[in-house]
């Protein structure tokens, strides 16, 4: 019965159990015999602040291994995780975001120019192309169009078949290994992506050796005499990065982290953007206030729209931590034994009426008052030492794209009801992809 609940009506099923059993509930399904969901803000705080040695996020993310690789920051725990995270942090520091703004505006322009006028289309697909364009350029600084296009094509060919619910199941069953038809096909797509990524890593390493860029491969920012250190892209920074012992990242580490950024960095943001437009187009007073505030040069309301979108439609509805060590982990008066996964429920926290009055309504104003929701009440990016590395990047990209679309296009909703959500892999996406019509060019 629980398996059916999770497969067919996850949100109502979880809500029913929360009401019936309280803020800490043990579940079991055919896929996972025992896991504990936590719905209370203080208890979620306890879990997110728990020692990373006791509560292991890497183990909980193991499912993503075949896609992002075993050395990915998402899969590691303990000292190894900390090392990779420190190496990855500088390119995603909040203050560096301005460096990516131009790339984001250009990608938004390309997407807008591709939209038909007077004909219905789905925004989600367009947003996926847009955010993939952005993350590939941010990561590789790729200005040579053909390579960037080829990498994007190969990435989508790898991700698309495994992003569906059936695809995730396939990955769990085969571990992305050869021997099964679907597993073999996935392995081929992965090799095709790896080939391009390793080529790019080798080229950058060559540049470190020769002290400059290789003019015959590149154009634009990759000019002769351009040192790697002066580049703005993430790969150049990572090739030069050194850990506390002075060691650089290995090729395999670089490959896994680059793929992590490419995969984690685009599907999530694209989905959040699609939801943002769905909510704005179905809430005309909010859209009108947003337009008016942007026209007066005030960006605060735009920031609140982004935060409220991520609250009411969290792209990732929950996160995981596996209990390790000799002792059980205490939460809310319960002792959770080693080996059991704890899942703080982002979606349930965001729906709590005691924290968010009229929780089902889209009200960006919540984030503007003197007492906005705190770190453990608003957690679309998770929290603690595992909080999303790309949170500033994603929020910034959402602000840039929403502003640009409102400046350049006049979109209208198709149908009076907002889209309904459905699980796709680990993300919660609009079932119909947010169908819209562009009213005029």
Contacts with ligand HEM, residue ranges (CB under 6 A): 57, 73-74, 85, 260-261, 264-265, 268-269, 272, 315-316, 319, 380-383, 386-390, 393-394
Smallest separation, CB 269 to ligand HEM (Å): 4
Smallest separation, CB 279 to ligand HEM (Å): 14
Comparing CB distances to ligand HEM, the nearer of 312 and 316 is 316
Comparing CB distances to ligand HEM, the nearer of 319 and 400 is 319
Smallest separation, CB 73 to ligand HEM (Å): 5
Q: How far is CA 227 from CA 196, 209, 224, 254, 258, in A?
A: 22, 11, 8, 20, 21
Smallest separation, CB 178 to ligand HEM (Å): 27
Comparing CB distances to ligand HEM, the nearer of 187 and 316 is 316
Comparing CB distances to ligand HEM, the nearer of 95 and 370 is 95
Is 271:429 a contact under the CB 8 Å cutoff?
A: yes
What's CA 150's distance to the chain center, in Å? 22
The sign of the CA dihedral 123, 401, 275, 7 is positive
Rounded Cα distance, 175 and 30, in Å = 18
Rounded Cα distance, 349 and 355, in Å = 8
Comparing CB distances to ligand HEM, the nearer of 133 and 174 is 133
Smallest separation, CB 420 to ligand HEM (Å): 19
Comparing CB distances to ligand HEM, the nearer of 96 and 291 is 96
Smallest separation, CB 180 to ligand HEM (Å): 29
Comparing CB distances to ligand HEM, the nearer of 176 and 382 is 382
Q: How far is CA 245 from CA 83, 87, 199, 241, 338, in A?
A: 10, 12, 27, 11, 33
Smallest separation, CB 146 to ligand HEM (Å): 24
Smallest separation, CB 392 to ligand HEM (Å): 9
Is 81:52 a contact under the CB 8 Å cutoff?
A: yes
User: Which H/E stretch holds residue 6?
Assistant: helix 2-8
Task: Give me Rg for the CA atoms of the chain.
Answer: 22
Smallest separation, CB 195 to ligand HEM (Å): 22
Comparing CB distances to ligand HEM, the nearer of 57 and 305 is 57
Smallest separation, CB 367 to ligand HEM (Å): 15
3-state secondary structure of 351: coil
Q: How far is CA 39 from CA 51, 143, 199, 268, in A?
A: 20, 45, 46, 23
Comparing CB distances to ligand HEM, the nearer of 183 and 384 is 384
Comparing CB distances to ligand HEM, the nearer of 383 and 418 is 383
Comparing CB distances to ligand HEM, the nearer of 183 and 433 is 433
Rounded Cα distance, 234 and 232, in Å = 7
| β-pair type (24-27, 334-336) | unpaired
Rounded Cα distance, 74 and 52, in Å = 13
Smallest separation, CB 56 to ligand HEM (Å): 11
Is 408:381 a contact under the CB 8 Å cutoff?
A: no
Rounded Cα distance, 126 and 111, in Å = 6
Smallest separation, CB 268 to ligand HEM (Å): 4
Q: Which residues, including other chains, have CB under 8 Å from residue 285's CB and lie 6 or more apart? A: none
Compute the half-sphere exposure of residue 197: CA atoms within 13 Å on the CB side of its CA.
26
Comparing CB distances to ligand HEM, the nearer of 207 and 395 is 395
Rounded Cα distance, 130 and 25, in Å = 39
3-state secondary structure of 284: helix
Please report the DSSP string for 131-152 in residue order.
Answer: HHHHHHHHHH----HHHHHHHH
């Amino acid at each position: 019965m629980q398996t059916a609940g999770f497969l067919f009506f996850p949100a109502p099923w979880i809500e029913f159990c929360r009401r019936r059993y309280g803020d800490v509930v043990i579940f079991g399904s055919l896929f996972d015999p025992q896991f504990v969901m936590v719905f209370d803000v203080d208890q979620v705080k306890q879990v997110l602040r728990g020692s990373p040695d006791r509560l292991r996020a890497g183990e909980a993310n193991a499912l993503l291994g075949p896609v992002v690789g075993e050395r990915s920051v998402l899969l590691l725990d303990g000292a190894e995780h900390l090392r990779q995270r420190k190496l990855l942090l500088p390119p995603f520091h909040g203050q560096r975001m301005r460096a990516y703004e131009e790339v984001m505006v250009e990608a938004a322009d390309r997407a807008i120019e591709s939209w038909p006028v007077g004909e219905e289309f789905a925004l989600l697909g367009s947003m996926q192309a847009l955010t993939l364009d952005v993350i590939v350029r941010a990561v590789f600084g790729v200005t040579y169009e053909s390579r960037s296009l080829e990498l994007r094509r190969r990435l989508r060919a790898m991700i698309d078949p495994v992003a569906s619910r059936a695809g995730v199941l396939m990955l769990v069953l085969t571990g992305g290994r050869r021997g099964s038809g679907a597993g073999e096909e996935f392995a081929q797509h992965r090799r095709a992506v790896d080939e391009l990524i390793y080529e790019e890593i080798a080229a950058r390493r060559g540049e470190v050796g020769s002290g400059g860029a290789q003019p015959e491969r590149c154009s634009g920012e990759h000019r002769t005499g351009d040192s790697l250190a002066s580049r703005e892209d993430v790969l150049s920074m990572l090739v030069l990065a050194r850990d506390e012992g002075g060691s650089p990242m290995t090729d395999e580490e670089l490959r896994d982290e680059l793929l992590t950024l490419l995969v984690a960095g685009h599907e999530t943001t694209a989905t959040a953007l699609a939801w943002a437009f769905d909510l704005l187009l179905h809430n005309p007073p909010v859209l009108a206030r947003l337009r008016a505030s942007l026209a007066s040069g005030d960006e605060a309301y735009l920031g609140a729209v982004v935060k409220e979108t991520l609250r009411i439609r969290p792209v990732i509805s929950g996160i995981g931590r596996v209990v390790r060590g000799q002792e059980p982990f205490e939460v809310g008066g319960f002792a959770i034994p080693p080996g059991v996964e704890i899942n703080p429920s982002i979606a349930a926290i965001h729906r709590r009426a005691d924290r968010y009055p009229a929780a089902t309504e889209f009200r960006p104003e919540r984030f503007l008052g003197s007492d906005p929701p705190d770190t453990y009440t608003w957690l679309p990016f998770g929290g603690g030492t595992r909080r999303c590395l790309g949170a500033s990047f994603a929020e910034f990209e959402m602000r840039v794209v929403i502003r640009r679309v409102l400046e350049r296009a006049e979109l209208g909703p198709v149908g009076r009801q907002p889209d309904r959500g459905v699980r796709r892999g680990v993300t919660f996406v609009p079932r119909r992809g947010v169908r819209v019509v562009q009213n005029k060019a």
